[in-house]
Amino acid sequence: MKTNHKYVLAIADRQIILLPRNRIIRDVQMQFSKPCIWCEVDTDSPMQQETFLMRGTGHILGEAEHSEYIGTLHCLDGAMVYHVYSLGVTR
């Protein structure tokens, strides 16, 4: 069954999140002071690990340079801005 789900992220350089296969990321925003990603998912799909990266404005991209850009988060009333990337499925 296809639905939209929210996944809460940590503010971290690198993290692994468990998501259904073939997810479609629809948005990334702060909600209640927490970074969140909203995805369209098929709840019948098998789960897989996906690696996400966060880079602050002005920080070196490193491995994020060759990954999928997801969106930008404005934290602490805009005092901190993070750019979110996906490295894809973790093997």
What is the residue whose two structure tokens read 């479609």? 24
Entry pTM: 0.90
- Amino acid 8 reads V
Q: What residue ranges do the domains of the chain occupy? A: 2-89
Q: Which two tokens stand for residue 48?
A: 């897989």
Per residue in 28-49, pLDDT (tens digit) is 999 999 999 999 999 999 999 9
- pLDDT score recorded for residue 76: 75
The helix/strand/coil state of 80 is strand
Per residue in 46-84, pLDDT (tens digit) is 999 999 999 999 999 999 999 999 999 998 776 899 999
Assess whether pLDDT exceeds 90 at residue 90: no
Residue 21 phi, psi dihedral angles, 5° rounding: -60, 145
